[in-house]
Amino acid sequence: MSEIFLTNTLGRKKEKFEATNSLVTIYSCGPTVYRNVHIGNLRTYISVDLLIRALKYNGYEVRHVKNITDVGHMRSTGADTAYDPIINEALKEGKTPAEIAEIYTQAYFEDQKKLNILDAHVNPKATEHIAEMIALTEELVKNDLAYEVEGTVYFDVKKFKDYGKLSGNTLDKMGQLLEAVRVSVETDKKDSVDFALWKLSKDDRAMVWDSPWGKGFPGWHIECSAMSLKHLTKAFESGKFDPEEVKTIDIHSGGEDLIFPHHEDEIAQSQGASGKEFVKYWFHGGFLTVDDKKMSRSAGNYLVLNDIESKEYKPLSFRYLTLTAHYRSKLNFTWESLTAAQIALKNLYREISRYYQESEAKIGCAEYEERFLAAVNDDLDTPKALTVVWELVKSDYPASAKLKSLLKFDEFLGLDLHTVSSGKISDEVGALVEEREKARAAKDFAKADELRAEIAKKGFEVVDEEAGPKLKKIIQ
């Protein structure tokens, strides 16, 4: 197995990836499902997909858990003007929070499919893991790392000595910083740096749960500690939280805005409850920006996948666009860059469609395969990987060998290159070609033309060559 190097946010340098087990465990912070995700969110999910594909490309077996942040924090009426208008609208239409979550969960899965983002093995929902969140909170109280104030439980940050290791926001530096990121009305905390694990329900929450501290709802960060430990370790297998069964998770991922406070707080919670290292490698993707500003709902500069599809762009053109930048770099979105990506992808399809019906190659192009793997394993260097693709296309290797290598590369790239190679022709199309050959032999050219049109309807152009007819996939 070759060596993979990844940038670990913990330490901020490229490190050789070493799995703790034969099965690589990955947890990704997933979508919030009370509205459509935007293409900035999708860029992060594509980056994580590339990581997973890179591991598989190298022969690792992977277990990937990506959570769904559903509606635990939603209020029961649409009256709250602080809300996203989409939620207000849906609530006013009489939809329940669970229905809203279901609609946008399915919408997310559709986006994921269109972008060739591989399904995670489990997509746990936050609201189905309240018991685990309560159990972790109880453990933290027991370990004297959390305290209750009138139905709300806070993590006592000063008691967790490793706080700040991931983000660099160490306790001594932190006071002001924390104040800046947290819009907080929590005045009963011992210290402003403390964060809530469980909150007392004071108002019209749509969903509240019983807990040892009364009716309430969980803080945001605890859901990912609970779901990652539940689905990637045996910590909850006995029905209770068992710190002995906690194992270090290989990789945890998200966009760079999650480093602090979300992931810092997840580490504090998970390590505070188990006493063990939570995650070995922290993988964070860079932002998709517009005019150099982070794409976000709140800034109003966002697009959803449907917006680009309705302008006749293929979702995979967006995937191609993301490959042109390194996953950790900022990528500034413009329509021009998306157009360029779409043209490049179509050109690639066109090239591949010419590699028609060559006899199956036994070998690919070893030299290019080596360079491609080196790019993948150098912290997922997708711009370099694309360069190798284009150099291979332009090389004078036989078409069949190029095709073999490109189809292998696509296991990482996820650009659907197999659908444009006409390597596998259905029996039905094969029979039509044969029939057309017979018609031509009998000089029945009208029939031959009819059959050519029929074959075209099935997506192939017949190219008559000296050695016989060949098929070329028609690219739309």
Which residues of the shown chain bind Zn ion in the complex (CB under 5 A)? 29, 224
Enumerate the β-bridge partners of residue 461.
472
Out of 19, 40, 178, 227, which residue is the one contacting ligand AMP (CB under 6 A)?
40
**Smallest gap, in angstroms, from Cβ of residue 295 to ligand AMP?**
4
Q: Buried (b) or exposed (e) across 226-243, using 16+ Cβ within 10 A?
A: bbbbbbbbebbeeeebbe
Out of 198, 282, 287, 412, which residue is the one contacting ligand AMP (CB under 6 A)?
287
* 41 forms part of the interface with ligand AMP (CB under 6 A): yes
Alpha-carbon distance of 141 to 369, in angstroms, equals 53
Out of 295, 325, 365, 417, which residue is the one contacting ligand AMP (CB under 6 A)?
295
Beta strands in 69-215 (DSSP E): 146-149, 152-155, 195-200
The one-character DSSP state at 38 is P
Sites for ligand AMP among residues 296-325 (CB under 6 A): 296
Alpha-carbon distance of 31 to 28, in angstroms, equals 9
* 409 forms part of the interface with ligand AMP (CB under 6 A): no
Choose one: 38-46, 98-106, 135-143, 366-374; the region binding ligand AMP (CB under 6 A). Answer: 38-46
In this structure, the dihedral spanned by the alpha carbons of residues 83, 84, 89 and 90, taken in order and rounded to 10 degrees, is -90
Of the candidates 432, 431, 441, 392, the residue with the CA atom closest to the CA atom of residue 413: 392
Of 44 and 405, which CB lies nearer to ligand AMP in the complex structure?
44
Query: How many CB atoms within 10 Å of residue 95?
Result: 16
Of 190 and 330, which CB lies nearer to ligand AMP in the complex structure?
330
* 84 forms part of the interface with ligand AMP (CB under 6 A): no
Asked if residue 112 lies in contact with residue 45, where contact means CB atoms within 8 angstroms, the answer is yes
Of 116 and 296, which CB lies nearer to ligand AMP in the complex structure?
296
* 32 forms part of the interface with ligand AMP (CB under 6 A): yes
* 255 forms part of the interface with ligand AMP (CB under 6 A): yes
Alpha carbon 21 to chain centroid, angstroms: 22
Alpha-carbon distance of 103 to 87, in angstroms, equals 12
Of 261 and 423, which CB lies nearer to Zn ion in the complex structure?
261
**Smallest gap, in angstroms, from Cβ of residue 29 to ligand AMP?**
5
Alpha-carbon distance of 209 to 406, in angstroms, equals 52
**Smallest gap, in angstroms, from Cβ of residue 446 to ligand AMP?**
57
* 258 forms part of the interface with ligand AMP (CB under 6 A): yes
Out of 35, 43, 231, 280, which residue is the one contacting ligand AMP (CB under 6 A)?
43
SS3 of the chain: helix, strand, coil, percent, to 5 = 45, 15, 40
Choose one: 169-177, 251-259, 374-382, 421-429; the region binding ligand AMP (CB under 6 A). Answer: 251-259
Instruction: Give which of Zn ion, ligand AMP, none residue 224 binds (C-beta under 5 to 8 Å, depending on kind).
Output: Zn ion
Alpha-carbon distance of 159 to 356, in angstroms, equals 65
Taking each helix axis from N to C end, the angle separating 399-413 and 366-377, rounded to the nearest 10 degrees, works out to 10
Of 284 and 294, which CB lies nearer to Zn ion in the complex structure?
284
Out of 19, 24, 29, 321, which residue is the one contacting ligand AMP (CB under 6 A)?
29
* 294 forms part of the interface with ligand AMP (CB under 6 A): yes
**Residue 444 phi, psi (nearest 5):** -90, 75
Choose one: 249-257, 272-280, 306-314, 466-474; the region binding ligand AMP (CB under 6 A). Answer: 249-257
- State the pairing for strand pair 61-66/146-149: unpaired
* 46 forms part of the interface with ligand AMP (CB under 6 A): no
Instruction: Give which of ligand AMP, Zn ion, none residue 43 binds (C-beta under 5 to 8 Å, depending on kind).
Output: ligand AMP
Which residues sit at the interface with ligand AMP, rule CB under 6 A? 29, 31-32, 40-41, 43-44, 254-255, 257-258, 285, 287-288, 294-296
